[in-house]
Structure 1
């Protein structure tokens, strides 16, 4: 086994790295979507309930404001969880 063989065994090829990157990003998308759905539901219930029951919320939170609150929380959850998942996968499989 010469120097080139040892190097090829320890470092993945370009195609392998590309496949791993696609896999990590797919895992991130799936985890982010799950988090966005959960965060959207968890946010929607109290937002809509308070807009129906509380006098201040009834006067100040129209349908657009309610949708904006829910979508911001869901979007933030998606990006935070997707980013953390991709970084965790890359860190787990990186070479030190």
Structure 2
């Protein structure tokens, strides 16, 4: 009987962890989209207006800037969301 309780408890913990991860992925994806748009507009605008940027920032550099910001936003928001959700439910 104790083994069944332990397995049920483990299944419940696994289900909760999957839910927390999914919530983190969704929040991170939303943040990445917002960060991409918020970064792409000024990056391309500066590329058109600034002589220095026109000379030194080729399309690959611009894409690297945008993707770096999007990746950072994704991981930061996903991590914070997972930790926040886990903390809220750890006291229950």
Task: List runs of 5+ in structure 2 lacking aligned partners.
Answer: none
- Give the TM-score normalised by structure 1: 0.86
Quote how far apart the aligned CAs of 1:83 are: 0.2
SS at match of 1:13: helix
Aligned to 2:14: 18
User: After TM superposition, which residue ranges in structure 1, 4 or more long, deviate above 6 angstroms?
Assistant: none
The structure with the largest helix share of the pair is 2
Quote how far apart the aligned CAs of 1:95 are: 3.5
Aligned to 1:64: 60
- RMSD across aligned positions (CA): 1.6
The number of aligned residues is: 87
What per-residue deviation string (whole Å, max 9, x for no partner) do you get for residues 9-38 of structure 1? xxx711110000000000000000000000
Aligned to 1:88: 84
- Give the TM-score normalised by structure 2: 0.89
Distance 2:81 2:91 in 1: 18
Task: List runs of 5+ in structure 1 lacking aligned partners.
Answer: none
Q: Which has the larger radius of gyration?
A: 1
Aligned to 2:69: 73
